[in-house]
Structure 1
């Protein structure tokens, strides 16, 4: 692929010396709160009940959705760090994550949102590629999977604005893209604090499972504790 993506909205990419000073100042102000002081707990229950429709959050964006008899694994990044470069590394908050759970042995589809290191992870794909029947990925990502040994016949590649539309009548909010790595200059729990506050303000039903905890869909009892406050 020889084409280059271009922002459709003008984006100022300049970076001046004053920006560096501001960035360093912010970093040292917030440094002690960028990650939890101890590892986040992982719920180890791994019973694979095929009859239940459920979703399991594994930290950051990695999630397993079981619905209508299918198992969909979303952004399966189970690596220990968010970057291949030690200088910019953020170690996973929950420590090492095992892929030997019963519910991760046979997967109908793996869906990759984009190819950033904290979403597309070589070691994770190598462990999962033979367990998955198919991969759905954005334009340009198939080349990585093929290089890593995934058969081209198992890959569907989609361009920007491609979409599958259905009326899912969503009634429950499950926050993701938090709880695993330090990727910005804010307190590690800031994303979940902000989204729960806004959900409560708007009257949106929200669930806050711990890492690895499964949620049974269409249940009347969802995890809703503020467990991160105890870390």
Structure 2
């Protein structure tokens, strides 16, 4: 048990402590060129200054981890899920854009006949270890082996809950192209992905596609998979435009003015996939509260909002269902069309949002009667 505690402490350093180390870096940088990322002395930087943290604050997070009791961090019963078959995917209309929620931030798209994956994580744990770390609340609705050939895999950044070595290696032979932030190609090369299949992106860089274009856009976050590689690769979000239909995929981000810039440049968006989960008062610069996530959607000039980054892994101190409850409240107050499909549900872009609050049927009987924003 003592060994597990210390290994867990290492995970906290990787998942949370790295935020502190990298926040200290995110103050000043040298621009490579207009509209591109900030890069200096081998490190990438955020455009917005983030307040440096201290070792005292890191120690406080460790103390919280060991002493603070988590309430309802993990569901008490299996969550709902639709299994998806290759046959179902093949039969989807090639003249539309279809969306399948795979869990956490992983999305499968069928874009006019082409299959694309966004931040695919199929592993049991979002962790550098196979035996410990945040474990899935539910399986994926389809296995990698059962997937059809994949035209594009889009990666937002290299954290374990977004860039999964296990998944990338399994996808290698069935994927035509991997689109990744600057610096991430080296990871894929180590995992056996041919460099001819990988294209790296800087912020605001675009790629023409069959029916439109893809653009890599800024976020306020950080990168790193170990203690010695903080901010050596870039992080960001994706804009997808195809036949005048537009999608936005946030990856991970703290709230910042860049959402308005993206909205002005590429909006309005038919649907936004916005990070809504794993927030906390101890790392407010790199993850958004649900209230900020809703504001980001408004800044982007989005029509329908799909909250992601929740309901699959325990990555913070809040209850597993809290992000969904809080974003539902915000969407209702601001008359935002909220889309909350269950895992494996197949949707078609352009159809009405599914706003069924499915999670409320799985919340514990001991849940608090009200949820209060704590950060």
SS at match of 1:175: strand
Query: Is the Cα–Cα contact under 8 Å of residues 26 and 185 in structure 1 kept in the other structure?
Result: no
Q: Is residue 124 of structure 1 aligned with residue 167 of structure 2?
A: yes
For the structure 1 residues 158 and 16, does the alpha-carbon distance in structure 2 shift closer, same or farther, using more than 3 Å as the test?
same
TM-score when normalising by structure 1: 0.86
Q: Which residue among 178, 184, 198 is the counterpart of 2:316?
A: 184
Q: Which residue among 157, 169, 172 is the counterpart of 1:114?
A: 157
Query: Is the Cα–Cα contact under 8 Å of residues 127 and 161 in structure 2 kept in the other structure?
Result: yes
TM-score when normalising by structure 2: 0.55
Q: Is residue 27 of structure 1 aligned with residue 68 of structure 2?
A: yes
Query: Is the Cα–Cα contact under 8 Å of residues 61 and 119 in structure 1 kept in the other structure?
Result: yes
Q: Which residue among 179, 200, 211 is the counterpart of 1:157?
A: 200
Q: Which residue among 110, 117, 121 is the counterpart of 1:66?
A: 110
Give the aligned CA root-mean-square deviation in angstroms: 2.6
Query: Is the Cα–Cα contact under 8 Å of residues 116 and 153 in structure 2 kept in the other structure?
Result: yes
Question: What is the rounded CA distance, in whole Å, between the counterparts of 1:97 and 1:60 in structure 2?
Answer: 12
Q: Which residue among 189, 214, 227 is the counterpart of 2:358?
A: 227
Name the structure 2 match of 1:57.
Answer: 101
TM superposition shift of 1:82? 1.7
Q: Which residue among 344, 347, 353 is the counterpart of 1:212?
A: 344
TM superposition shift of 1:10? 4.0
TM superposition shift of 1:23? 2.1
Query: Is the Cα–Cα contact under 8 Å of residues 57 and 212 in structure 1 kept in the other structure?
Result: yes
Question: What is the rounded CA distance, in whole Å, between the counterparts of 1:35 and 1:152 in structure 2?
Answer: 39
TM superposition shift of 1:21? 7.7
TM superposition shift of 1:219? 2.1
Unaligned stretches of 5+ in structure 2?
Answer: 1-40, 207-214, 216-238, 247-267, 271-302, 363-375
SS at match of 1:188: coil
Question: What is the rounded CA distance, in whole Å, between the counterparts of 2:81 and 2:338 in structure 1?
Answer: 20
TM superposition shift of 1:173? 1.3
Question: What is the rounded CA distance, in whole Å, between the counterparts of 2:359 and 2:160 in structure 1?
Answer: 25
Aligned length: 226
Query: 1:111-142 CA distances to partner (integer Å, 9 max, x unpaired)?
Result: 00000011111111111121111110001111
SS at match of 2:68: helix
Q: Which residue among 120, 133, 145 is the counterpart of 2:176?
A: 133
- Bigger drift between 16-25 and 106-115 goes to 16-25
Q: Is residue 15 of structure 1 aligned with residue 55 of structure 2?
A: yes
Q: Is residue 41 of structure 1 aligned with residue 80 of structure 2?
A: yes
For the structure 1 residues 5 and 225, does the alpha-carbon distance in structure 2 shift closer, same or farther, using more than 3 Å as the test?
same
SS at match of 1:5: strand
Question: What is the rounded CA distance, in whole Å, between the counterparts of 1:86 and 1:106 in structure 2?
Answer: 27
Name the structure 1 match of 2:263.
Answer: none
Query: 1:95-120 CA distances to partner (integer Å, 9 max, x unpaired)?
Result: 46641575x22111000000001111
Query: Is the Cα–Cα contact under 8 Å of residues 98 and 347 in structure 2 kept in the other structure?
Result: yes
Unaligned stretches of 5+ in structure 1?
Answer: none
